[in-house]
Chain A
Amino acid sequence: MLRAFFVSVMFAMPGDVVAQDVAVTSLSGSVNEHFDTTARVAGSRLVSVRLGTARGLAFDPSNVQVVRPVSLAGVCVRSISRDGLYWMRTYYGVEATASGKRLLIEPFTSSLDQILRSYGEGEIAIVAFSSVDASCLDQSPLVLPVLVPEGAPDRIEVLLNSGSRRISAGLDGGEQVVCVTPQNIERIVFDSICTLAVVLSDRPTQRVLQVAMDDGLTVVREDYKIFLPAHQ
């Protein structure tokens, strides 16, 4: 509560450009999170969508921001650590009257603050999507990329768990996304890192990330709707 107070005070400071641009989520109930001493076995193919480049800093659970469309009733946030030991899936409400093009996920954690801070920024995979359903089981949700605080939104990074399939991906505009298999790290949560340099337009856009997964026998295609903010 104290942190929420400080956050609200900080964002209310006049002259702070970032503060004016950020709305804060509300939460009814508690954060649905867990940290295991052994790994979970459950998940989704789309593991993380980030706008910007992770800076190699420690992860800061008090400053997780996602892109915010104007009309957004609620947001589902799924998060998992690279080693699979931590996972979270929580529905947050968004005040209709709140303004701001960024949305601060608050509280991101209720009891795992110290554990999460021991991870690097790039080791916590987060995917957020708009939802009106608190169960977070939407069929074709609009993915809201996570923003790197104070980072330049010049690059999309998508983490995928393809099950060792060969990945090729692209945006609906024709831009090809470069996908690589991470080397020298464990591939428990994701096994493909797809990146693409983007230039944001003057108005918010909704793009489609088209992913083709080839296991040598058949090719399976999946589309993910991604919301990209306007260039600021």
Chain B
Amino acid sequence: MTLPKRLRTLFESVSSWSRPAWFLLASAGLTGVIFLFVRVFVLDITPVALISAQSTFVTYEVQRGPASNFTLQGAQLRDRSQVCEGILDGTGRFTGLVAPGQGNRVSYTHHRSHLLITLDIPPGTSAAELTVEGHAVCKVQGDTLNLLVPNEVLDRHLPFPIVGRGEIGAELRIQTAPVQAQDLIQVDDGHGGFSVRRAPGPLLMGATVRLFGRTSTLSGTGQLYPIPDAEFQIPRGSRLSSTEEPSTMVGTVTAAADDFALDVEVTLEASEVLIYRIGQRDQVERLAVGAFARSFSNPGLVPILVAIAIFGFILQLLCALDGVVRDKRGRR
């Protein structure tokens, strides 16, 4: 039997289903299969969010100790008595490795003259450790350690880590009277002190969240692809927060002497991102991107979609050719 004849037989058998119920059942079945397919391969796959933010304040809870370590060069301390004797240099500054403990909270605040790094060490979590070349590892005393990195040495530092449940910025809130009117703060470190030019805040100056889809095929997941139009502008004065514990938030923050805001870049699962902002009653918002946009830009689905398109085209072409041939025979 030739191909046109086979196709004709198939067509005749389908058209012989005179009862509409068959068509309804077939349509419902096919819809279900396609929906399940889209659900498993598109909707259930959480996109990845890339947050690029400019904020004066970032904080996170240490989730992976070693990944949260960072080095400091020439940092000043608010309270020198919290660290072991001898690990500060001749000018009372710290140059070495800071290893926050699991469960500690690390906060970065950019003031006009210094980057303030605060380690909060809640009871029950392991103390942060300081390591300086040639000295024994030093456990930090107290429940909080404030390290101040002067602007002039910021360019000697690598980006600082953010690995764990975190918050970027703080929502524009009800303002209270300033605690201290002056912006030049004299920090009393017990050794003559030093001045810090305070910045108002904390404030998120602006942020962009880009979503990337993940491909999913029968063989697994793994490829990222940009979802078109899935770019969210986060308004100034919002707070971006990750919800889950443990969180997938991973990224870095850099501080520059000539920039008021910190440059923050983190990735995390899009379902974790919460946006808090002043507005109406419901002030917590999540990101969402349409299944349509995700489906049609998913490279994993492209071969299937192309195969369906080619099949449909060939089928139509063959049917048309068959019609032409029959028409010629009929005329003869």
Complex Cα gap A218–B173 (Å): 21
**Chain A residue at minimal CB-CB distance from B274:** A184
- Among residues of A, the one whose C-beta sits closest to the C-beta of B145 is A216
Q: Across the interface, do A188 and B144 meet the contact criterion of CB distance under 8 Å?
A: no
Contact across chains for B144 and A43 when beta carbons are under 8 A apart: no
The answer to whether the Cβ of B41 comes within 8 Å of any Cβ in the partner chain is: no
Asked, given contacts A216-B118, A217-B196, A218-B180, whether A188 binds B171 with beta carbons under 8 Å apart, the answer is yes
Interface residue count for B (Cβ, 8 Å)?
35
Please give me the residue from chain A that is nearest to B278 by CB atom. Answer: A39
Q: Which residues of A contact B78 (CB under 8 A)?
A: 216-217
Q: What distance in Å separates the Cβ of A219 from its nearest Cβ neighbour in chain B?
A: 10
Residue interface mask B282-294, A partner, CB < 8 A = 1: 0110000000000
A17 CB-CB contact with B under 8 Å = no
B280 touches A187 (CB 8 A): no
User: In the bound complex, what is the Cα–Cα distance between A130 and B114 (angstroms)?
Assistant: 43
Contact with A along B156-193 (1 / 0, CB 8 A): 00000000000000111111100110000101000000
Interface of B is mostly: loop
Q: Is A188's CB under 8 angstroms from B176's CB?
A: no
Which residues in B have their C-beta under 8 angstroms from that of A39?
Answer: 174, 278-279
- Of the candidates A39, A164, A218, the one having the most CB atoms from chain B within 10 angstroms of its own CB is A164
Known contacts A38-B278, A84-B278, A217-B185; A186/B175 CB under 8 A? no
Q: Chain A residues near B213 (CB, 8 Å)?
A: none
Give 1 or 0 for each of A165-205: 1 = CB within 8 Å of chain B CB. Answer: 01000000000000000001111110100000000000000
Q: Does A164 contact B57, Cβ atoms closer than 8 Å?
A: yes
> Which residues on B are within 8 Å of A, measured CB to CB?
57, 78, 107, 109, 111, 116, 118, 120, 144, 146, 170-176, 179-180, 185, 187, 196, 198, 202, 239, 243, 274, 276-281, 283-284
**Contacts A/B (CB < 8 Å), 16 sampled:** A41-B175, A42-B174, A43-B174, A84-B174, A85-B280, A85-B281, A161-B174, A163-B173, A163-B179, A164-B57, A186-B171, A186-B277, A187-B276, A213-B179, A216-B109, A217-B78
For the complex of A and B, 10 pairs with smallest distance between CB atoms = A43-B174, A186-B283, A220-B179, A39-B278, A186-B276, A216-B116, A216-B146, A217-B185, A216-B118, A45-B176
